[in-house]
């Protein structure tokens, strides 16, 4: 687990905002989210519709290193589905395999 993280670039409230992604989290299908900035610290709590999720890991990954198992933590069956969704959210943005994103892994807490 990384402990020397740079400052956050956004707030945890903005980490999962897409309504379909919120549903995936609530259904237990989505346990990670990738962002181009760092939205949460390890141990921080995200609240969605009265449910609490603790961020337990934050690290960087290049888009080119993503595999189907990574897309599945995002709530998608495979990389094609995940990539299609990301590209639909960001029209005109190129998919650059070398681009580094921040991975935020979380789990439901009571």
Rg (CA), the chain: 13
DSSP, collapsed to helix, strand or coil, labels residue 20 as helix
Mean pLDDT, to the nearest integer, of 87-110? Answer: 94
Question: What confidence score (pLDDT) does residue 1 get?
Answer: 47
For the stretch 26-56, pLDDT in tens is 999 999 999 999 999 999 999 999 999 999 9
* pLDDT, average across residues 4-19: 94
**Measured distance CA(55)–CA(70) in Å, rounded:** 16
| Dist. CA 58–CA 40, nearest whole Å | 8
CB 102 within 8 A of CB 59: yes
| Contact indicator for 65, 27 with CB cutoff of 8 Å | no
pLDDT tens digit sequence for 67-92? 999 999 999 999 999 999 999 988 99
């Amino acid at each position: 687990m990384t402990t020397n993280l740079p400052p956050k670039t956004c707030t945890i409230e903005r980490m999962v905002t897409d309504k379909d992604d919120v549903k995936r989290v609530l259904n237990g299908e989505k346990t990670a989210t990738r962002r181009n900035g760092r939205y949460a610290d390890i141990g921080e709590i995200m609240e969605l519709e009265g449910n609490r999720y603790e961020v337990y890991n934050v690290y960087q990954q290049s888009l080119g290193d993503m595999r189907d198992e990574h897309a599945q933590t995002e709530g998608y069956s495979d990389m094609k589905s995940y990539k299609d969704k990301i590209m639909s959210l960001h029209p005109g943005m190129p998919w650059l395999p070398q681009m580094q994103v921040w991975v935020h892994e979380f789990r439901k807490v009571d």
